[in-house]
Amino acid sequence: MTTSRPANIDIGAALAEAEELYQANNPKSLAQHRSACAAMPGGNTRSAIHVDPFPLTMVRGTGARLWDLDGHEYVDFLSEFTAGIYGHSHPAIRQAINAALEGGLNFGAHNATEARFAAVICARFPSIELVRFTNSGTEANLMAVSAARAITGRPKILVFAGGYHGGVFYFRGHGSRLNAPFEYLLGRYNDLAAVEALVRPYRAELAAILVEPMQGTTGCVPAERSFLAGLRALADETGALLIFDEVMTSRLAPGGLQEVHGILPDLTTLGKYLGGGMSFGAFGGRSDIMGRFDPRRPDAFQHAGTFNNNVLTMNAGLVGLTEIYTPERTHALNASGDRLRQRLNAVVQRRGLAMQFTGLGSMFSVHMTDAPIRSQEDAERGNAKLRDLFYFDLVARGIWFAKRGMFALSIALDEQDGDKLAEAVEEFSETRAPLLAHTQSG
Ligand SMILES: Cc1ncc(COP(=O)(O)O)c(C=O)c1O
């Protein structure tokens, strides 16, 4: 699948050539994309996975391997954007799902697993005293933000440029016209002074601060502890609720990044891997806040949802968290992610290239710049065409990850898989060195 042609030293031409090769290698995926366009806009039902000129269609996965329609095999370094932490078809997850299927799925009632799963989540995440389940991270954030507005009686939500909290909470680039129609204040990530100045005229109107302790979608940009501590103080001073969106970052330590930093939000939102690979979301927090959802109260907040306690999700999630992604496993996976990220950075640093891998533990992203990255603005300085080229080069070598440059590890990956990624980065660094050394960001 790799090209033996000499590397092009013009970036536009190199990218065109890489896309040509991609097209030539993947005729069945191209045909699938064309036919999908007849029933879905752009052949797509999930914007984040679209790829120009066309996306690949995967047909099979097992462990840490994926196969596409044209028969190519990939090492899966995307792990379903962090949701696939267990790898494909983990035997214990399979068993949990099969057992659940045996007993029936749709009771229209409480089931015996949901309270056990809830208890495990409460025990694991320090700020969560009570929890409720949803079907997605987006929905969890909608509920958390709506609850904050109802509790405080205030309208405004502080969010951050580069933040992503779901399909209706998109604050990357120019944002999205489809965002939930709340009143937002858009702060600069990791810049407390600017955030305080932004909020100053609206302190009495602020209902919530919604923040990812590491911005995942914008390129694995960790929040500095002092920034999160400053947001905690700002929430306390203004009476707003602090919401940590740990939909992605909850995998980075047994109790998520809130545990790592020792900073407790009022509410936490969860999603992704915690549902064992099924559709999942959750929001939880202080019992006085979550207690407002207690249906025995005459003034209880409404929160229904046919699939909130879906039997497959509850069973797969419970087994995943108690039998597989134990605290020990969490530490081990994230330590191996730290080592791999350092190894990849050593490859590019040895050559003095304008390229780096940012992130924490089992999540990292490539950026085509060697300048420090603390915000979306910094991330945007990376050369986007080079990042695209990196994508096509690595996909051609059988490495699966997100085109925007994101990698997330699963427990199914092993040392040899890490070697394969390091070799692919080494080869990219070597063959594309002239571009990486001379191309200005932009
Ligand atoms: C930080 C964060 N919050 C929320 C979401 C939305 O979760 P879902 O896709 O389950 O709606 C995502 C999804 O990528 C996310 O990364």
Q: Residue 430 has which token pair?
A: 């070597």
Q: Kindly state whether residue 291 falls inside one of the protein's structural domains.
A: yes
Pair (356, 405) in one structural domain: yes
Whether 281 is in a domain gets the answer: yes
Same domain, 334 and 314: no
Same domain, 186 and 53: no
The pLDDT-based confidence of 5 (bands split at 50, 70, 90) is low
Q: Which atom of ligand 1 is nearest to the CA of 212?
A: 1
Q: Are 70 and 25 in contact (CB under 8 A)?
A: yes
Strand partners, 163: 171
> Where among 300, 324, 348 does a domain terminate?
324
Pocket test for ligand 1, best of 247, 248, 250, 274 (most atoms within 8 A of CB): 247
* Ligand 1: centre distance to CA 175 (Å): 15
192 plus 134 within the same structural domain? yes
Per DSSP, the residues of 231-288 read: HHHHHHHHTPEEEEE-TTGGGGSTTHHHHHHT---SEEEEEGGGGTTSS-EEEEE-HH
Catalytic residue chosen out of the listed positions 22, 86, 164, 184: 164
Q: What CATH number does the domain containing 158 carry?
A: 3.40.640.10
On whether the CB atoms of residues 354 and 439 are closer than 8 A, the answer is yes
- CB burial of residue 55 (10 Å; 0-12, 13-18, 19+): buried
pLDDT of 319 > 80? The answer is yes
Please give the backbone phi and psi of residue 29, each rounded to the nearest 5 degrees, phi first.
-65, -40
Q: Is 164 a catalytic residue?
A: yes
Instruction: Report residue 127's pLDDT band, with 50, 70 and 90 as the boundaries.
Output: very high
Q: Which of 273, 308, 324 is a domain's end point? A: 324
| pLDDT of res. 9 | 73
Percent residues over pLDDT 90 in the chain: 95
In terms of domains, do 134 and 60 share one?
no
If asked whether residues 122 and 68 sit together in one domain, one would say no
Tell me the C-alpha distance between 376 and 155, whole Å: 26
**Claim to verify: residue 250 and residue 374 sit in the same structural domain:** no
Judge if the upstream peptide bond of residue 327 is cis by omega within 30 degrees of 0: no
Alpha carbons 19 and 388: distance in angstroms, whole number? 9
Nearest CA to ligand 1 atom 2: 165
CB 435 within 8 A of CB 9: yes
Q: What is the DSSP string of 373-425?
A: --SHHHHHTS-HHHHHHHHHHHHHTTEE--TTSEEE--TT--HHHHHHHHHHH
What's the token pair of residue 310? 């879906």
> Which CATH number goes with the domain that contains 46?
3.90.1150.10
86 in any annotated domain: no
The parent domain of residue 301 ranges over 91-324
Q: Are residues 202 and 307 in the same domain?
A: yes
User: Do 228 and 116 share a domain, yes or no?
Assistant: yes
* CA proximity to 171, closest of 228, 222, 145, 210: 210
Same domain, 378 and 334: yes
What confidence tier does 6 reach under pLDDT thresholds 50, 70, 90?
Answer: low
> Would you state the pLDDT for residue 434?
87
Task: Convert the pLDDT of each residue in 39-57 to its tens digit.
Answer: 999 999 999 999 999 999 9
**Share of residues in the chain with pLDDT > 70 (%):** 97
Instruction: Give dist(CA 210, CA 157) in Å, integer.
Output: 7
Residues 335, 308 share a domain: no
Cα 245 to the center of its chain, rounded Å: 10
Assigned domain for 81 exists: no
- Looking from the CA of 386 toward its CB, the CA atoms found within 13 Å total 29
Q: Is 22 a catalytic residue?
A: no
Kindly report, residue by residue over 254-304, the tens digit of the pLDDT. Answer: 999 999 999 999 999 999 999 999 999 999 999 999 999 999 999 999 999
Q: Where is the domain boundary, 324, 357, 384?
A: 324
Q: What is the Cα gyration radius of the chain?
A: 22
136 Cα nearest atom in ligand 1: 10
pLDDT digits (tens, 9 = 90+) for 426-442: 999 999 988 887 444 44
Query: CA-based angle 124:311:109, to the nearest 5?
Result: 105
Q: For the chain, how many structural domains are there in total? A: 2
Q: Are residues 314 and 372 in the same domain?
A: no
Q: Among 82, 85, 160, 164, which is best to mutate for testing ligand 1, by the most ligand atoms less than 8 A from CB?
A: 164
Domain membership of residue 85 (yes or no) is: no
